[in-house]
Structure 1
Amino acid sequence: MSKAVNVLNELLVNLFNDILQIEQNALQSGDFKDLSVTEIHTIEAIGMYEPRSMSEVAGDLGITVGTLTTAINKLIKKGYVERKRIEEDRRVVLIQLTKRGKLAYRIHEKFHSDMIKATIGGLSKEEEEVLTNSLEKLNIFFKDKYNLKHKGE
């Protein structure tokens, strides 16, 4: 392996681990100590506005409905999510965020926004474009190589 490949590998692994650790630390030091990173990402996948079906959310997260059911049951117990049946067909169960869930969503969204601002804060417009284009290419490569869904599919 070339030096560049070794450096890039180390940077990607460290960056991934650091972001997860920073996210976990931010959760643990805030008002949402009872949430794991996985749970906050589940809250993020449910979204703020429209109730969603379990299969939609499971698909977005790339997990089975069974796995999601376990996570949702925990989030319901913690007061972040609620189940809702639709009047037209009582068999259809949708999930949505509670007020507390929406607050967690907003705070997590701000965390990501602050992290991005800090990341690009000292960059010139050209450096910002190079970074964005490089990360987009990397993202597409990984998604195609490992058959992952592209955002919006």
Structure 2
Amino acid sequence: MSKQEDTPSHQKNSGSRHLGRLIMQLRRLELQPHSFGKAGPLTPSEIHTVEAIGFEGGVRMSELARRLGITKGAVTQLVARLEAKELVKRSPHPHDARVVLLSLTEKGKEANAAHEEVHLRFYDELRRQLSEREIEIFEKCVETLNDFLRR
């Protein structure tokens, strides 16, 4: 008999309800802009685009779309918004005139660093509340959930 078959149905439903609540909270958070340094309010999509470009820069639009798992059209819209906020700049590829490279401005780098700090504080808080083993289990569960949702 599998573990799934041994689990009472009310426990299965409890996990499903908790997951449903988590998804609803994540959707709510996705709509709320947050400030990161002097960048002003940024949506989660915007700050995660900044993060995907990264400090090293020189990212092609197609590579950015791949990193984010979205279309090139959606990346174009996000990049235009980030350019208007002076967080991202476009520059020509040194060897291929058809290619545009994206990099962060100083303001974009500051926003990215502030975003990293938010993640570090979140994990510090988790470590205060969970054991190392619970952190390992949490990370494995998040990885498994991400893999499942990518399918």
> Do the two structures share a fold, i.e. TM-score over 0.5?
yes
Alpha-carbon distance in structure 2 between the residues aligned to 1:111 and 1:12: 23
Contact 1:20–1:37 at 8 Å: present in 2 too?
no
Cα distance, 1:29 vs structure 2: 8.4
Q: 1:41 Cα deviation (Å)?
A: 1.1
Q: Which amino acid aligns with 1:37?
A: P
Evaluate the alpha carbon distance shift between residue 114 and residue 19 of structure 1 in structure 2; reply closer, same or farther with a 3 A threshold: farther
- 5 Å-filtered alignment, 1:1-153, equals 2-19=9-26, 21=28, 27-28=34-35, 31-143=38-150, 146=151
Q: Which runs of 5+ in 2 are unaligned?
A: 1-7
Which has the higher relative contact order, 1 or 2, with Cα contacts under 8 A spaced 6 or more apart?
2
TM-score by length of 1: 0.78
Provide closer, same or farther for how the CA distance between residues 133 and 27 of structure 1 changes in structure 2, counting only shifts above 3 A. same
Specify whether residues 56 and 123 from structure 1 end up closer, same or farther in structure 2 by C-alpha distance, changes over 3 A only. same
Letter in 2 for 1:73: A
Instruction: Name the count of aligned residue pairs.
Output: 144
Give 4+ residue runs of structure 1 displaced > 6 Å after superposition. Answer: none
RMSD between superposed Cα atoms in Å: 2.6
Return the alpha-carbon distance in structure 2 between the equivalents of residues 107 and 24 of structure 1.
19
- Larger CA Rg, structure 1 vs 2: 2
**Distance between the aligned counterparts of 1:48 and 1:137, measured in 2?**
28
Match of 2:4 in 1: none
Does the Cα contact within 8 Å between 1:84 and 1:93 map onto a contact in 2? yes
One-letter amino acid of the counterpart of residue 149, structure 2: F
The code of the aligned residue for 1:124 comes to: S
> In structure 1, what is the Cα distance between the partners aligned to 2:30 and 2:12?
27
Shift of residue 98, structure 1, vs aligned partner:
0.4
Structure 1's unaligned 5+ residue stretches are 147-153
Please tell me the residue identity of whatever aligns with 2:109.
Answer: K
Describe the SS at the equivalent of 2:100.
strand
Letter in 2 for 1:54: M
| 1:46–1:52 Cα contact (<8 Å) kept | yes
Q: Deviations over 1:95-134 (max 9, x none)?
A: 1110001111111111112112212322222322333333
